[in-house]
A and B are shown apart, each in its own frame.
Chain A
């Protein structure tokens, strides 16, 4: 007897572990069910079988073979979708993943930049802790692509389940991703206008590529056109079968993306959208993946008040973007875009404080992104036949202190697990005091930076005036950004490019007066 008990307990533990892993039959009962697609059901039941949702309702039979989980007092939601992230493509990953394409129009020779042919589904590698950090807040699906390169490759809709990435792919390729990212000085394109020209030439090349292949098929008695994986990858984009995600934060950048989409008749999705609140009428048919990584408020009161009004507007009115888009009928999703998982729900809460309804907020992280990426038959709501991505929270999900208590991905249950999340942003985020070593003497510039999906934004102040930085990006360990340096009434772009290492940075700054060294460090 004395020996028997522990053995029995062990057997039970083993059995429950096995059950936790296997997609099986579950009945989640007595919770408040937020199906998203229908009205809230108090004391509702969600039945899960073999990885799919079998039934959702108030008074439905519980299958005899189901394991019943009584979640009385808790809330049941579809798993959340983070529809714009570069999770799984750390700086090194991107470098390794470089495609050696012969097409100069898509990536410079010898560069490690991703290109149009880059398939996120084949390269994604998510660390266990990163996956747990997202599941812990209820995110069970991500839409991921690298945050580097002008063409960042084709994104993947991926469930955050266990097992190999290939088994978790819901849709690949999901969309073509791109950003207005300049290359280093003296490598085309090293200016914004060059990047736009590069997009235009690349799409023209893709059109020509298809026309050349077609002409060759009709008449093979002529020089054979070369194959090109990148230009092939753009064909579904030109046929409007695959949407084109442009990362664009400012109103002008969003308009640039729209201009390219109009010129080549592309299905446009905007990612970022920091100034979308300024232009909802212009976005009627354009889905926006709104980053909840809102502009940070300087902690110092004087800094807060001395910033130009355009910076203050963006800071204070930025979080009204989701409510403004909702009121204007613009389809949108709320996304982390490189923010840490722990900032996701607080960021959404800030949007709610700024006028977004909780229902619209929930939709923006479930059904709305599922529709934007064409996976709403599988994901985004608790409905019969959809993938059984289900989460249970102890309080309504946007309430302060609400915790995710149970997570089902593809019908497999897991529990929240405390993790140390890796934060790429911490390498860049913060206030940096920089010293430019110019022949006329040292020039002090202070920048406050924030990394978001490879894109770096922020403000600058110091000896050369103040304002917002532009053209910022971070690709480990290289940080680049541009300030509009003011001398008297003149303004010139100063492009900083340096290497970040443990809260220090060193590099060169290209100015109207030549290139100079700069160094700096993060202030506490």
Chain B
């Protein structure tokens, strides 16, 4: 009789746990503790045998002597490493259709968020490499591209939940070869797009901001006349000009694709002249040549560690770029620009220890807290600290080792990748596929 009761209670507890797991609202109160793991906090050193407590979507506590709350789901992390979710400061994943609206030299009216899709497999693969957050940028086919979107890889949830709602708005600029139409053959019957040269790229950016000042002035005049009680036709809302105006008003951060040092200096000049601010240079292959200038202007740099020579403007790239930028005070991150590289940005971070001798912690920062700062989300992500989002990854070994792999990836306290779960899911998918094909076969033979 007693045994039966216990069994009943256990069954009820399991049912309740399942119900809680299935219900997002209840999940707010769910508590998980990862114990006995080596915790790489990034911002507060390494805890050799530490505990990380996740409550709901946030990290509730982290430390060596943290008590495990009663009723917590405990994951024994003995022999494992806990690392923050990796942040990719340059991604084009999960975008449906072309990542470039290339029809105009300035397409600041288009938004990546409008074309995001949950049907891309890449984000799931990235979760398996420990990447949890990315800046999804418009392509580099025009001087001023579309508005980018910061998203978390909440695979299985609708796109509306991937979007980090309170993240800064950002936009893609591009310098160098890519926005030069001279490099592209126009389709039959279509005229070559302006600009064809680097000079033209600079002019497009300068002119766009001059136009934006005019646009703002028109609205100011309208508001003034309206307040005087005049019946006046409002100016047309122009989504492109609104975007440019929002850049001037510091409501949109500029992340500019840039390879060459002279062009980065050019954009800094145009920014000073027309009144906007560059938040980050993307790729920044010659960043080591202008690191001091970037540091003074507080412009971040997201770069590749060892990609070079693939076109003329990439000939001066060196693997020591990261270390030289870091040592000169530039906020530096490693970025992917690639579905493939986005799965192992930890390797690129690790290479910065070999090329230029960054410390282990400096290397870890390259794919965590530094990109978090670059995206202005370091109050939420990028390190393991109480109060931050529970975007955590359990690794089998040190994430800077190429022998380590990801066991479990959490975003805001929810598991979005788990190696064991993945293997189980493959069986389910194989079963589902077989059933669907059998159903279809049955219909065909009927």
Contacts and interface: CB of A to CB of B under 8 A. Distances in A.
Nearest to A515: B185
B314 to A, nearest CB: 15
Interface string A178-206: 00001111111111111011001100110
Interface in A471-524: 471, 482, 488-491, 493, 495, 497, 508, 510, 514-515
A124 B429 CA distance: 48
Contact of B100 (A191, A219, A315): A191
B103 interface: yes
Interface string A202-240: 001100100110011011001101000000000000000
Contacts of B185: 514-515
A205 B236 CA distance: 7
A312 interface: yes
Looking at B191, B233, B437, B440, the one whose CB has the most chain A CB atoms below 10 A away is B233
Contacts of A215: 231-234
Given A225-B233, A305-B437, A495-B98, A252 B119 contact: yes
Nearest to A252: B117
Contacts of A223: 233
Contact of A194 (B107, B231, B232, B444): B107
Given A191-B115, A489-B125, A497 B233 contact: no
A431 interface: no
| A193, A219, A252, A304: residue with the most chain B Cβ atoms closer than 10 Å | A193
A200 B234 contact: no
A415 to B, nearest CB: 33
Q: How large is the interface on B (under 10, 10 to 19, 20 to 34, 35 or more residues)?
A: 35 or more
From B98, B117, B159, B231, name the one whose CB has the most chain A CB atoms within 10 angstroms: B98
B114 A196 contact: yes
Interface stretch (B270-278, B336-344, B347-355): B336-344
A184 B184 CA distance: 15
B436 A490 contact: no
B440 A315 contact: yes
B427 interface: no
B187 A192 contact: no
B233 A493 contact: no
A357 interface: no
A310 interface: yes
Nearest to A468: B119
B187 A255 contact: no
Q: Which of A194, A250, A251 has the most CB of B within 10 A?
A: A194
Interface string B326-364: 000000000000111001000000000000000000000
- Of the candidates B118, B158, B231, B338, the one having the most CB atoms from chain A within 10 angstroms of its own CB is B231
Contact of A309 (B114, B233, B433): B433
Contacts of B433: 309, 312
A284 interface: no
Interface residues of A, number: 60
B102 interface: yes
Interface string A252-267: 1001100100000000
B187 A197 contact: no
B187 A252 contact: no
A489 B231 contact: no
Contacts of A196: 110-111, 114-115
Contacts of B239: 197, 200-201, 204
B440 A192 contact: no
B187 A515 contact: yes
A495 B114 CA distance: 20
Contacts of A312: 433, 436-437, 440
Contacts of B114: 192-193, 196-197, 256, 259
B223 to A, nearest CB: 14
Contacts of B104: 188
Contacts of A252: 96, 116-119, 159
A447 to B, nearest CB: 17
A222 B436 contact: no
B190 A186 contact: yes
The dominant DSSP class at the B interface is loop
A363 to B, nearest CB: 24
Given A192-B96, A192-B115, A490 B338 contact: yes
A190 B236 contact: no
A188 B186 CA distance: 14
B132 interface: no
Given A184-B190, A316-B440, A489-B340, A193 B101 contact: yes
B198 to A, nearest CB: 20
Nearest to A190: B103
Given A197-B114, A222-B233, A488 B101 contact: no
A192 B138 CA distance: 12
B2 interface: no
Given A304-B440, A315-B440, A222 B98 contact: no
A521 to B, nearest CB: 21
A470 interface: yes
B122 interface: yes
B203 interface: no
Contacts of A222: 232-233
Contacts of B343: 489
Given A197-B110, A225-B233, A514-B184, A185 B146 contact: no
Interface of A: 182-194, 196-197, 200-201, 204-205, 208, 211-212, 215-216, 218-219, 222-223, 225, 250-252, 255-256, 259, 297, 304-305, 309-310, 312-313, 315-317, 353, 470-471, 482, 488-491, 493, 495, 497, 508, 510, 514-515
Given A197-B111, A212-B233, A309-B436, 13 more contacts: A184-B190, A186-B193, A190-B101, A191-B99, A196-B114, A197-B109, A197-B110, A200-B109, A219-B230, A251-B119, A252-B119, A297-B440, A482-B98
20 contacts: A182-B97, A186-B103, A186-B186, A186-B191, A186-B193, A188-B101, A190-B102, A191-B98, A193-B95, A193-B97, A193-B114, A204-B239, A212-B236, A219-B230, A252-B116, A252-B119, A255-B159, A256-B115, A482-B98, A508-B187
Interface of B: 95-104, 107, 109-112, 114-119, 122, 125, 138, 146, 158-159, 184-188, 190-191, 193, 230-234, 236-239, 338-340, 343, 429, 432-433, 436-437, 439-440, 443-444
